[in-house]
């Protein structure tokens, strides 16, 4: 699909989707379990949960931050016992960052709390809206990872 040839209706739908996703995302971020972690720190832990262990450089690329910033974030997470740094198995100049069991527990609690909040919010949907939401979820997931 050529973006420059979208109809007015399609452009309006894209704008409405962007606005709704951003508002919902902000509201979800406020459903925090551990107030001692910044949204950036939670995001890094989430990336490690989704993608597995990574070097700080890989994390910086995935999180769209500069490598020195990621080095500081990893150091703060390590000081809190949420990540560990191990030697890279192939490149001794590198390290690999992994999440700890404590981080996994925090992430699980955060997912549970956000899922509960979202489920309670969605209780107001009718059957057709629920069906639409179930169909839209995989499409939104795909967009999130393109």
Location of structure tokens 């459903």: 31
pLDDT in tens, 113-141: 999 999 999 999 999 999 999 999 999 98
| 112 occurs within a structural domain | yes
Residue 22 lies in a domain: no
pLDDT in tens, 39-92: 899 999 999 999 999 999 999 999 999 999 999 999 999 999 999 999 988 888
Q: How many CB atoms lie within 10 A of CB 70?
A: 23
Q: Are 29 and 110 in contact (CB under 8 A)?
A: no
Identify the three-state secondary structure at position 87: strand
| CATH number for the domain that contains residue 38 | 1.10.10.10
Q: Report whether pLDDT(2) > 80.
A: no
What pLDDT was estimated at residue 1?
Answer: 60
Specify if 133 maps to a domain. Answer: yes
* pTM, to two decimals: 0.76
Tell me how many domains the chain contains: 1
The boundaries of the domain holding residue 139 are 31-144
Under the phi-then-psi rule, with left for phi > 0, alpha for psi from -120 to 50, and beta for the rest, what region is 30?
Answer: alpha
Q: Is residue 55 part of a domain?
A: yes
Above pLDDT 70, what percent of the chain?
A: 98
Query: Does the pLDDT value for residue 144 go beyond 90?
Result: no
Three-class SS state of 92? coil
Using a CB cutoff of 8 Å and minimum separation of 24, what contacts does 96-103 make?
96/53, 96/54, 96/55, 97/48, 97/53, 97/54, 97/55, 97/56, 97/59, 98/48, 98/52, 98/53, 99/45, 99/48, 99/49, 103/45, 103/48, 103/49, 103/77
Answer whether residue 9 is part of any domain.
Answer: no
Q: Is residue 7 part of a domain?
A: no
């Amino acid at each position: 699909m050529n973006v420059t040839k979208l109809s007015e209706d399609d452009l309006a739908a894209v704008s409405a989707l962007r606005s709704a996703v951003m508002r919902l995302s902000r509201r979800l971020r406020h459903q925090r379990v551990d107030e001692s972690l910044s949204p950036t720190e939670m995001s890094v832990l989430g990336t490690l949960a989704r993608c597995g262990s990574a070097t700080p450089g890989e994390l910086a690329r995935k999180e769209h931050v500069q490598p020195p910033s990621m080095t500081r974030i990893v150091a703060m997470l390590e000081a809190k016992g949420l990540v560990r740094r191990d030697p890279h198995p192939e490149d001794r100049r590198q390290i690999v960052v992994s999440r700890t069991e404590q981080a996994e527990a925090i992430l699980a609690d955060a997912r549970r709390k956000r899922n509960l909040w979202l489920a309670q919010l969605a209780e107001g949907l009718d059957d057709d809206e629920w069906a639409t939401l179930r169909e839209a979820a995989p499409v939104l997931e795909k967009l999130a990872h393109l």
